[in-house]
């Protein structure tokens, strides 16, 4: 019992001596200041993507069989007032009885800007029972109202004119 008390006392004295010798040294230098952070988007124009229902136009899908896959390409145009984030088209294939046979998904990883035209490619495993298909359009922040058109205009036109461009003042003579 006495040995345990003696060992504890010796450890305590040693710890006190170490702490006083460390405390007697010069104080540590202050840490350097952290660099100032600059916003990644500072000075850049950023339009947030549409939330809720967006509108797109699309042409007749082109479907081809390539070996063991069915590849469908669809050209889409954003006719909404803002960009569409992560446009997704789900394709579902049915057999003659209306049962689901297979399906695939095509996605645009970048934003689809207003008036912009892009091509979405959907790859689906081929099945001999495939008879008909259907499409479901969605985006990251809501649903899509798709409208089928015969052709898409390649000219990139803004969806809405700015208010300043709509008003023109006549020149005074």
One DSSP character per residue, the chain reads -HHHHHHHHHHHHHHHHHHHHHHTSPPPPPPPPPPPP--TTTT----PPP-S-EEEEEPPPEEEEETTEEEEEEEEEE-SSS-BSS-EEEEEEE-TTS-EEEEEEEE-SS-B-TT-EEEEEEEEE--TT--EEEEEEEETTEEEEEEE-S----S---SS--HHHH--PPPP-
pLDDT tens digit sequence for 11-45:
766 666 666 655 555 666 777 888 888 777 677 78
Global pTM exceeds 0.75: no
Domains, the chain, ordered by start: 54-152 (2.60.40.10)
pLDDT at 162: 47
């Amino acid at each position: 019992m006495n040995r345990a008390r003696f060992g504890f006392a010796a450890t305590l004295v040693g710890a006190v001596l170490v702490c006083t010798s460390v405390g007697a040294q010069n104080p540590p230098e202050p840490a350097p200041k952290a660099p100032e952070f600059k916003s990644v988007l500072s000075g850049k124009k950023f339009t947030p993507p549409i939330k809720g229902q967006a509108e797109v136009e699309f042409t007749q899908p082109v479907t081809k069989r390539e070996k063991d896959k069915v590849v469908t390409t669809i050209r889409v145009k954003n006719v909404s007032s803002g960009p569409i984030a992560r446009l997704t088209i789900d394709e579902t294939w049915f057999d003659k009885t209306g049962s689901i046979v297979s399906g695939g998904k095509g996605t645009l990883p970048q934003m689809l800007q207003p008036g912009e035209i892009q091509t979405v490619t959907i790859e689906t495993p081929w099945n001999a029972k495939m008879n008909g298909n259907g499409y479901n359009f969605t985006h990251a922040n809501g649903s899509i109202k798709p409208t089928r058109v015969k052709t898409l205009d390649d000219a990139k036109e803004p969806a809405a004119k700015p208010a300043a461009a709509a008003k023109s003042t006549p020149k005074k003579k």
